[in-house]
Amino acid sequence: MPERRTVALVTLGCARNEVDSEELAGRLEADGWELVEDAESADVAVVNTCGFVEAAKKDSVDALLEANDLKGHGRTQAVVAVGCMAERYGKELADALPEADGVLGFDDYEDISGRLQTILSGGNVEAHAPRDRRKLLPISPAERQEAGAGIALPGHAPADLPDGLAPASGPRAPLRRRLDGAPVASVKLASGCDRRCSFCAIPSFRGSFISRRPSDVLNETRWLAEQGVKEVMLVSENNTSYGKDLGDIRLLESLLPELAAVDGIERVRVSYLQPAEMRPGLIDVLTGTDKVVPYFDLSFQHSAPGVLRAMRRFGDTDRFLELLDTIRSKAPQAGVRSNFIVGFPGESESDFAELERFLNGARLDAIGVFGYSDEEGTEAATYENKLDEDVVAERLARVSRLAEQLVSQRAEERLGETVEVLVESVDDEDGVVGRGAHQAPETDGQVRLTGGAGLSVGRMVEAKVVGTEGVDLVAEPLDRFEEAAR
């Protein structure tokens, strides 16, 4: 009988990393590893790191050190770093953090089982050597699909059986293993990014943009529905570019209704949209397709034209407000969120005031704000006219206070609205909690249902908004109102 091998996956960062972790889990389980929830119960703790900004990198290092502290006190024998930080820094991370017994890049994922077994057996696995992944695919998007066959693309793993061996009916199981029983799951739509925002290092370690085949996205969604998933969230670095390397930039518009028609799926959500790439047809599908929620995760980053040009981005306050007006003319209850960078090199007081003007007019449901800091290897890190740290901190605090006020006001505007809530947790302490169509998981607030006794996780409930708690809503199921009326 083979020796029992246990592994725990600790995931940091975004929803894309969560998909990657579930692919790793699928690969490991297929090779006989037993997946456990807690690192202290595992022979190997695999930390899927984030390498986006300094705070995320610090969290990743802390998680690796925390897992390392378990060695010698329980079952844990090895700690391994994977994910974006490991891919971005490789051997540099291994040298700086000898507590990690292995630092593996995306190219190691296909044989993750073998790599972990070698490490667990006391062998040496050479630390990943970073490379600019933008250079692995052709410049022309039309040539990428064929070239991408030999490139590691985490989260793109197709079904684990070739077409000729697939079952005659029912969805093929993807090379993925769910790590929780939540009624919502992310699905990777694409990887990489062709945009060259001056502040962002992601394309260098995630590579150029490449789409997944629609059939793989559909098969994975069908499989997730069989696992009890009610909502799928499509993720990538830039969903508005989906299909451009498949010969059809409007492919997302045709794929969304097919995903919405999958038996068992009640809600399809699209994240990571670029304002400069929004198309009238895509807005129409997002606002007019049953079960596709009118949700717009728009990456504005700023609204002052000069700052946006320095960021290598496009647009301005008035054009962004026009885009929001167009969306709300088609779906008045549409949810909109965005992130912003303040204190970018050269940002003047008038630029900052222009951003405040946009925020005051945008009526956003959720706002993320970050103070600028240099990211190694980015164009912006070479810019002059850097603002003093205290100026950046002051502007960050100022716009954060404004953002908190504005999202609370936007929540109050929803008083009296009917929202469809996906129940995500039921417990004695918090009661019944879920999310409306305008709220993405973990980022946009939640809905607390009053009088929701008897409801279970995974239920879709129509409810009337009766109160607010900051960005969060309080709602009462409509059937309670109907009973009261009778």
The pLDDT tens digits of the residues spanning 36-53 come to 998 888 999 999 998 777
What pLDDT is recorded for position 159? 57
Looking at the chain, the number of H-run helices and the number of E-run strands are: 15, 18
Tell me if 197 is assigned to a ligand binding site: yes
Task: Let me know: does 432 contact 445? Beta carbons within 8 Å.
Answer: no
- Distance from C-alpha of 265 to C-alpha of 261, rounded to nearest angstrom: 7
What type of residue sits at position 216? D
Nearest one of 130, 132, 47, 134 to 92, comparing CA atoms: 130
pLDDT score recorded for residue 57: 82
Q: What confidence tens digit (pLDDT) does each residue in 279-290 have?
A: 999 999 999 999
Each as own residue / partner, the long-range contacts of residues 139-146 (CB below 8 Å, 24 or more positions apart, any chain) are 139/208, 141/194, 141/209, 141/244, 141/245, 142/245, 142/247, 144/208, 144/209, 144/210, 144/245, 145/210, 145/211, 145/245, 145/246
Q: Of 69-78, 184-193, 416-425, 464-473, where does mean pLDDT reach its minimum? A: 69-78
Residue 203, judged by CB atoms within 10 A of its CB (0-12, 13-18, 19+), counts as buried
Specify the pLDDT at position 166.
40
- Separation CA 21–CA 45 (nearest Å): 12
Q: What is the DSSP letter of 180?
A: S
Report the C-alpha dihedral over residues 280, 281, 282, 284, rounded to 10 degrees.
90
pLDDT of residue 2: 55
The answer for residues whose C-beta is within 8 angstroms of residue 65's C-beta and 6 or more apart is 97, 99
First-to-final CA distance of the chain: 65
Reply yes or no on whether the pLDDT at 452 is more than 80: no
* Runs of H (alpha helix) within 46-191: 54-68, 84-89, 91-96, 112-120, 144-147
CA 254 to chain centre: 22
Mean pLDDT on 4-27: 91
Strands 431-435 and 418-427: antiparallel
Place 296 in a pLDDT band, splitting at 50, 70 and 90. Answer: very high
Pairing of strands 102-103, 184-188: unpaired
Q: In the beta sheet, which residues pair with residue 20? A: none
Q: How distant, in Å, are the alpha carbons of 140, 251, 327 from that of 143?
A: 6, 17, 34
193 carries a ligand binding annotation:
yes
- H or E segment to which residue 79 belongs: strand 78-83
Question: What pLDDT score was predicted for residue 55?
Answer: 77
**CA 176 to mean position of chain CA atoms:** 17
pLDDT in tens, 316-328: 999 999 999 999 9
Q: Which of 141-155, 166-180, 404-418 has the lowest mean pLDDT?
A: 166-180
Which candidate, 288, 395, 379, places its Cα nearest to that of 341? Answer: 395
- Identify the pLDDT of residue 160: 52
Q: Burial of 12 by CB count in 10 Å (0-12 exposed, 13-18 middle, 19+ buried)?
A: buried
Describe the crossing of helices 280-288 and 317-330 by its angle, rounded to 10 degrees: 40
The two beta strands, 231-235 and 267-270, are parallel
> Can you tell me the distance from the alpha carbon of 447 to that of 414, in angstroms, rounded to the nearest whole number?
12
Q: Confirm or deny that 314 is annotated as ligand binding.
A: no
Mean pLDDT within 439-454: 90
Q: For the CA atoms of 140, 205, 25, 186, what is the dihedral angle to 10 degrees?
A: -70
Q: Is 50 annotated as a binding residue?
A: yes
The distance of Cα 255 from the centroid of its chain, to the nearest Å, equals 19
- The H or E element containing residue 406 is helix 389-413
Q: What is the DSSP letter of 212?
A: P
Please name the amino acid found at residue 223.
Answer: W
pLDDT tens-digit series, residues 132-171 = 999 988 889 988 988 877 888 888 876 554 444 344 445 5
Q: Which stretches of 192-251 are assigned E, i.e. beta strand? A: 210-211, 231-235
Q: What is the pLDDT of residue 459?
A: 95
pLDDT of residue 353 exceeding 90, the answer is: yes
Radius of gyration of the chain (CA): 23
Report DSSP state, residue 347. Answer: -
Question: How many other C-beta atoms are found inside a 10 Å radius of the C-beta of residue 150?
Answer: 7
The pLDDT value recorded for residue 454 is: 84
- Quick check: helix, strand or coil at residue 276? helix
Structure-model confidence comparison of residues 310 and 170, the more confident one: 310
Helices 389-413, 349-362: axis angle to 10 degrees equals 10
Q: What are the angstrom distances between the C-alpha of 445 and each of 31, 74, 128, 244, 482?
A: 39, 37, 38, 33, 27
One-letter amino acid at 196 equals R
182 a known binding residue?
A: no
Position 483 scores a pLDDT of 43
C-alpha 248/C-alpha 284 separation (Å) is: 17
Name the phi and psi angles at 366, rounded to 5.
Answer: -150, 140
- Flag whether 369 is marked binding: no
